[in-house]
Amino acid sequence: MKVFTSRTQKIGEKGEEICCEYLSKSGFYLIERNFTIPIGEIDIVAQKDDRIHFIEVKSIQCTNANVSYETLYNPAENFNAKKIQKFKKTMLAYIKKHGVSYETQIDLYVVYIDRQNKKHRIRRIENIT
């Protein structure tokens, strides 16, 4: 498992943990976390039914997790076209390495972490192409 040291990395790690817990409760089977190769990284690889989900997690710590998504900085904007292309190359390398024969999709999970009440809120953006 990857070691996170900076404040930003620790927030990201917490967001990934929250996301994994959410996925498990939602019927996903977690296959792998932090698949890393020189091209890039995939935060979570999970399966539900006959589909493999390659998941990017973006996390942000905010004052109140109940604040509207629209009024906060949107970390999803960091998953831009260039990063998506890099993610796809990493995903294809994973598929080749592991002989994945299931349908696949890319999902983005944005985790808003309330630093005061230790609550969180998750926004899913599914099937990014």
CATH number for 67: 3.40.1350.10
Spatial distance between the Cα atoms of 112 and 106, rounded to a whole number of angstroms:
20
Number of domains in the chain: 1
pLDDT bucket at 70, cuts 50 / 70 / 90: low
Q: Which pTM value belongs to this model?
A: 0.88
In a domain, 1, yes or no: no
SS3 72: coil
Number of Cβ atoms within 10 Å of the Cβ of 61:
18
Domain containing residue 67: 7-128
- Is 90 domain-assigned? yes
Residue that wins the pLDDT comparison between 52 and 13: 52
Q: Where are the beta strands (DSSP E) in the chain?
A: 29-37, 40-48, 51-62, 103-114, 120-128
CB 58 within 8 A of CB 111: yes
Q: Is residue 71 part of a domain?
A: yes
Residue 91 included in any domain = yes
Residue that the structure tokens 């002989």 belong to: 99
Span 23-51, average pLDDT: 96
Give the pLDDT score at 2. 54
pLDDT of residue 32: 96
CB atoms inside a 10 Å sphere around CB 27: 10
